[in-house]
Amino acid sequence: MTITDLRPGHPTGAPGAIVHSYLPLRYVLTESLVVRSGYDPLRITTDHVVNGRAQRGMLAAALRHAGRDHLVEPWIARGSAIRFAPAFPRLEDPAGAAATVPAPRCWHVHTPPGHTDPLLADLLAAPAAPGISYRALGGLVTPDLARRAVPLTRTEQYLGVARKDAGRHGVPYLTTSLEPGQVYEARWQLSAGSADELADLAAHVLDTLAAADGLLSLGSGGTRAHGGGIRVAPALGEGAPLTPDRLDFGRSDWPAGEVRDLLLLSPALVDDHRGRPAPAALTAAAARALADLLGPGAAEPVGAHIQQEAVGAYHRLYRGPMAEQWAAAPGSVVRLRALRTITLAEIRAVEARPLGRRAADGHGAAVLVPVAAPGPVPADHAPLVRTDTADPPPHPPAAVEPPGPERTEFRTRPVALGDGSPVRVDPAWVAAEAAADPARSPVARLQDTLLTRAAADPVRARARDLARRSARLPPAPLLGRLREVASAPAADPRAVLTRLAGVVTGDPDRAAPHTPLPEPARADLAATAVPHGDRELPLPQWLDSAAGDPRAWWRHAGPDPAALAAALAPVDLTWRGGGGPGAAARAWSDRPEVRARLSVQLITCWLAAAAWIGRDTGHREEAR
């Protein structure tokens, strides 16, 4: 079922009318997650709600991964086909699942005289009694105020990257993140020209998310290593993924004379009559929306409880926070009285209209819900994944002979993910993928990244050892010039080696676009002797031989093969117990582009170590 946009000039069923529906998505956190964190450099605290902007970035990354860049503009940039919505905790139990919403700001907790247990009070229905203390309900509750979701969090400490003005050491900071294994639900609003187009749009969105399964991430996972991995599935199943309702609670006609609450689910950036941001203008914005969609005299506001909050964002392109604005906070309530009977279709049309600006990010989403009856304080529940599901079917036995006792390392066991589903990995498939071309296989790209990072430590240690054993190191200005040449952008590592060789040998063709060193500077470099195997080479010849034959040069200049193998084995995806690096890791270290990349790293580390040694030597000479 869909919702028709009740706009003037576009009656129901008329050509050009826009229909809306909602795509409920179930998120399962597979890693710790930080969303909407502040800018305190020493503490990062997550919000308990996944805002629409974070999900917008998640879908954009999924489109990039699927090669559907042409859909980024209509789906992400324009916001006309898809309007994202905040994801709230989802309470699951054997009886079913219940969505949560921000607690209405008008509800407070108090203890009346003669009672021992606290009760709820609706301060829009009756004013506060004198002499009794009230506190806001707060949090995320079910619409009937029976249960409250309390997401589980963890606190971790990280070591930040050292800043240029903060010395050589990073500053530790704390993060409070959401625990994995919790469930959230978001309902994205989809818009199209017809019901068939709407169904096709939902199918394309689900296909895109399914293609990126295992790669989806939310929050700060991509930049601060705080996790953020999730698994996404349609909350209503694959057969009928769409629903006409933003919320399943209170779906009925609105009789005349009855009051209902327009509950804000996300911040609303509303303006006053002068165009200035004014959260208090939410009541007027709601009244205008009802008059535009239902006509004058359909409903009137009888009260409101509005709070404000500062709304900002982080701009990935410009790498900085965006300007903050005052907005009506989620949970703000505008109480309305129906002056005539309002049908369920009209209620859905009102809920489909966002209040204020930035609707593509999910701002301004609201629902019309019946006013709950006062009662006890809702009980707290964690939004954990249901654990009463049946065990997965047994894994079918392989059609090959089982491994013998001496090959127990080849036996695989299922690994449970954050949502409890088992995953088995075939070692033969991993070995084949790891040995493939990194441009084609993501497993090979991961293998290349892991091995390159693991090889960095022995390469740096070897470079420092060569620098300490080198005789007559060049002066600091020459070393700085060579370091600039080595760090300049290049097409590939072989080009860096060729460029360095041209600079130190005076060959302008190979040194381009850099200028070769003059003869006196080359003479100073020639006085430096670098250990190379069982002999010593002048520095220009040492660099020139690296560009001529990196494989032969690496045999004498590279780190000890045993030390390199010991560093690669822990991160080798094809490693088997009791042996060294697998065939894929050995093939990786023999690739010409890898040898050139490691050679450039060794040379740049040698230049840096030589500069440090020369500076320390100068300080010691001055102390004498």
Beta strands in 461-566 (DSSP E): 529-532, 535-538
Cα–Cα nearest to 557, from 486, 470, 454: 470
| Rounded Cα distance, 137 and 222, in Å | 34
- For residue 541, what are its two tokens? 């010849």
| pLDDT average, residue stretch 521-536 | 88
| pLDDT average, residue stretch 461-475 | 89
- Per-residue pLDDT band for 261 (boundaries 50, 70, 90) equals very high
Tell me: pLDDT of 532 over 50. yes
DSSP assignment of 184-227: EEEEEEEEESSHHHHHHHHHHHHHHHHHTTTT-B-TTHHHH---
- Whole-model pTM above 0.75? no
Tell me: pLDDT of 524 over 90. no
Residue 150: predicted pLDDT: 93
Q: Per residue in 494-507, pLDDT tens?
A: 888 999 999 988 88
- For residue 91, what are its two tokens? 């309470």
CB environment 360-380: b (16+ within 10 A), e (fewer): bbbbbbbbbbebbeeeebbee
Q: Per residue in 366-384, pLDDT tens?
A: 999 999 999 999 999 999 9
Residue 165: predicted pLDDT: 52
Q: Mean pLDDT over all residues of the chain? A: 81
- In the 8-state DSSP scheme, what is residue 252? S
Residue 78: predicted pLDDT: 79
Least confident of 9-13, 83-87, 164-168, 479-483: 9-13
- Per-residue pLDDT band for 578 (boundaries 50, 70, 90) equals low
- Per-residue pLDDT band for 168 (boundaries 50, 70, 90) equals low
Cα–Cα nearest to 228, from 218, 237, 242: 218
What are the structural domains of the chain? 19-100+142-234 (3.30.70), 258-371 (2.60.40.4350), 430-623 (no CATH)
Tell me: pLDDT of 534 over 80. yes
| pLDDT average, residue stretch 524-551 | 88
| pLDDT average, residue stretch 350-375 | 89
Least confident of 114-118, 227-231, 246-250, 477-481: 227-231
Do the beta carbons of residue 254 and residue 371 sit within 8 Å? no
3-class secondary-structure state, position 378:
coil
Residue 336 backbone dihedrals phi, psi, to 5 degrees = -125, 145
Residue 486: predicted pLDDT: 86
Residue 621: predicted pLDDT: 41
